[in-house]
Amino acid sequence: MNQGTEVANRGLDKIAWVRAHMPILEEIRARFSRETPFRGKTLSLVLHVEAKTAALALTLKAGGADVHLAASNPLTTDDEVVAALRFEGVETFARKGESMEDYQKGIEAMLAARPDIIVDDGADLVVAAATKGLKVIGSTEETTTGVVRLRAMEKDGKLPWPAIDVNDATMKHLFDNRYGTGQSTLDGIFTATNLTIAGKTAVVAGYGWCGKGVASRLRGLGADVIVTEIDAARAVEARLEGYRVRKMIEAAPEADLIVTVTGCADVVTRKHFEVMKDGCLLANSGHFDVEINKKDLAAMATRHRRARPMVEEYVFKDGRRVYLLAEGRLVNLSAGQGHPAEIMDMSFALQALSAEHILKSGKKLKPGVHPVPVELDERVARAALDAYGAQVDVLTEAQKRYLDSWQDGT
């Protein structure tokens, strides 16, 4: 067997493993294979190119789509999965550690495919397609950051098609953002550092759904967690959950580990580096590598070296060292393996159903951001219930009449 085939085979094994743990998507794939709803259509996907994403790409392909895939981040690609996808006939433009220029070429390749539908993670492809004046039926968006960008485009009248906000579907953000980011962020930190969490003071910046997940998993492993926030209500929520809540400037000197999950820029900057303890670990799980200011870090450091794969040591004039994980990019996918398969099963089931919804109803939808239809959210919830072997009660007719009586005002 030549080396290329071996690499592809390892990728195929990884895909087979996750597919065995993604029953909801598998059921959709079986239906898509029978019905081929995407026959004759081209789909361009900009996502983190790893095994669970491959399961989605192959599901859409099974539905008859001509699928093109590029990376949504230069560091989050699994090259074995890329080889496997190419073997399976999915045009894939991604390489782990690719330059920003190659990253841009990936986006260009997605545009050149002239997609009918876009599946995006972070909205880079939508921005590029709208700027180029591409005509697409519609798009779907995976992340909080992407939805923020889409809403800004909508406000400025620059979003020319319907975009489905998969991120805010109940069966997405409640599980993917919280339990997915919670677990995969720690996976990335473990893999990068091989250090303990127990006994460390960990600062979590941002207490949205992702921050809640990261804080809870850190606490579960024995960390003393401090939360930083800009939103008063969320800060109170964190406090009532039992965390200390501080400004970053007060939290930074105590931190053994800082994890940013805000979606905002300049959360950790020069003034924070100035007061950090020797040895502080810095990780980001937000979409862009802007939360920890790398320019400040480089400007302050007198020396800089790679301490381990995915760990850069910066030494300051006074001898203090700080360690930046995964170049400040998404630590959960750059150093870790991304969200667990069972979580991405729900998220990507919503993506597959939303892409089908765009195909069926996109021409009727107005340009702008649209929620995932509740029936699709409910369909994924029911399928997840089966997958987890859980059951729910059913209202009796008398109970329904009781609830209806309140709605009627009787």
Q: Is 48 in the site for ligand ADE (CB under 6 A)?
A: yes
Q: Which of residues 314-343 bind ligand ADE (CB under 6 A)?
A: 332-333, 338-339
In whole angstroms, the minimum distance from the beta carbon of 292 to ligand ADE comes to: 19
Q: With binding defined as CB under 6 A, does residue 52 bind ligand ADE? A: yes
Token pair in block for residue 258 = 């800082």
127, 87, 88: which is closest to 110 by C-alpha? 127
Among 107, 310, 335, 344, binds ligand ADE (CB under 6 A): 344
Rounded CA-CA distance 174/242 in Å is 20
Q: Which is nearer to ligand ADE, 50 or 116 (CB)?
A: 50
Identified binder of ligand ADE from the candidate list 98, 116, 120, 121, rule CB under 6 A: 121
Decide whether 201 or 262 has the Cβ nearer to ligand ADE: 262
What x/- string results for residues 140 through 169 when contact with ligand ADE is judged by CB under 6 A?
A: --x---------------------------
Least spacing, CB of residue 191 vs ligand ADE, in Å = 14
Q: How far is the CB of 176 from ligand ADE (least distance, A)?
A: 7
CB of 85: closest distance to ligand ADE in angstroms?
Answer: 13
Residue 394 is encoded by which pair of tokens?
């059913």
Q: Which is nearer to ligand ADE, 175 or 314 (CB)?
A: 175
Nearest to 267 by CA among 294, 238, 239: 294
Residue pointed to by tokens 């939808």: 365
Residues in the chain: 410
CB of 67 to ligand ADE, least distance (A): 15
Residue number, 52 or 173, with CB nearest to ligand ADE: 52
User: Measured from the CB atom, is 73 or 193 closer to ligand ADE?
Assistant: 73
Strands 301-308 and 311-316 turn out to be: antiparallel
Residues touching ligand ADE, count (CB under 6 A)? 14
> 256 or 342: whose CB is closer to ligand ADE?
342
Q: Which is nearer to ligand ADE, 63 or 338 (CB)?
A: 338
> Which residues in this chain contact ligand ADE in the complex, by CB under 6 A?
47-48, 50, 52-53, 121, 142, 180, 184, 332-333, 338-339, 344
